[in-house]
Amino acid sequence: MVAGQLITTSGIDNLITNTDIFIACYNTNGSLDKTFNHKGWETSNFGYDNENAFALEVKSKDRIVMGCNLWNGNNTDFALAKYKAAS
């Protein structure tokens, strides 16, 4: 994963009963960047009913930070998710 040479996206992996965080990294030619999690994408489950990504920043050539909303059924919590490229 090289900053400036890939496109990163974040969003929701919509499951039947809840939503989880989904992130994928792409090369400039549109193919998945396999240096990110060995497959180019990742889902994260914080254990809440609904989890949504709303902010994304590439911190360095191998680190991504994502801001997330987490709905527990009564109120919304906030979390930061950190991702690292495969070594």
The β-bridge partners of 25 are: 8
Give the per-residue pLDDT at 37: 83
H or E element in which residue 30 lies: none
C-alpha torsion angle, residues 48, 49, 51, 52 (rounded to 10)? -160
Q: What is the pLDDT along the chain (87 residues), one digit of tens a residue?
A: 555 556 666 666 666 667 788 888 888 888 888 888 888 888 888 887 788 888 888 877 678 888 988 888 889 999 998 888 664
